[in-house]
Chains A and B, each alone.
Chain A
Amino acid sequence: MKEVTCMCGWRTRGTEEEVVEAVVAHGREAHGVETTREEVLAIATNVPAMPDARA
């Protein structure tokens, strides 16, 4: 499982594919930038696979 928290406060957690897709979409829609898969994985944090209690 991966997690990315943007400096704008937006956060996503999921499988590698889910996180890459979500971050690319967030970057495009919220910040107007294109992000590569490699860039996403470079900033993603490994997290344990368990139910997410956070909002």
Chain B
Amino acid sequence: MPEPEGSESQGTLDPGRASWGEGPVASTAWSPDFLAQTLELLIVHHAAEAADTAATDGIRSIRPIHAPSIQVGWGPGSTADSILGGTLSRYGLEARVLHSTSWRHDGDHVVLTYLAVTDAPAGLNPNLTSEPVAHTELARGGETVAPASIATAQVLEHALRHLAWLVTDDPAVSSALPEWRSALEGYLPEPFRQL
């Protein structure tokens, strides 16, 4: 059984030797002892200079270079906010808005997805890549069953539709992201549909 976040020995590689060796990004592994144990972090920022390309609304997604999203364990004794804030910090990023947006089964465990909105990074961590976000169809399930498969792009589409609703409905999000209203006009809000 994995130990709680931060309780185990966290060795690190010599930072002078390995740019990628800053220690593991996740220290809590999947376990049947926890229900919602995996946190997924989708990161977006707005690039005003890219807004002319209507297909992407100027929205860009940041992800690890070798994975579609950042996934970290959620052990007991920590809040999701604190874990994900720490994860963002590891990559030199800070959330202007951090909001849970969907959950899904992934094999035997549950993945809880958070959307983090950041400023456009001045210098991107070399373990990350930034790419334009294009609209995609949502994953659709049946009346009482989840979709058979859900791609990360579909989770992000859902998250942005959720954010489009929040920037008009949630005062905190609206005040934090005033420039996002126009960028999100192309996203229909449907935050409660099943993912």
Contact = CB atoms under 8 A, between A and B. Distances in A.
Interface string A35-55: 100010111111110111111
Contacts, number: 110
Among A6, A30, A48, A51, max chain B CB count under 10 A is at A6
Q: How large is the interface on A (under 10, 10 to 19, 20 to 34, 35 or more residues)?
A: 20 to 34
B32 interface: yes
Q: How large is the interface on B (under 10, 10 to 19, 20 to 34, 35 or more residues)?
A: 35 or more
A17 to B, nearest CB: 18
Given A30-B66, A46-B2, A46-B29, 20 more contacts: A4-B24, A5-B25, A6-B127, A7-B20, A7-B25, A7-B90, A7-B125, A8-B20, A8-B65, A9-B66, A42-B13, A43-B24, A44-B24, A45-B27, A48-B2, A48-B29, A48-B32, A50-B32, A52-B107, A53-B108
Interface of B: 1-3, 8-14, 17-32, 63-72, 90-91, 106-109, 125, 127
Interface of A: 3-11, 13, 27, 30-31, 33-35, 39, 41-48, 50-55
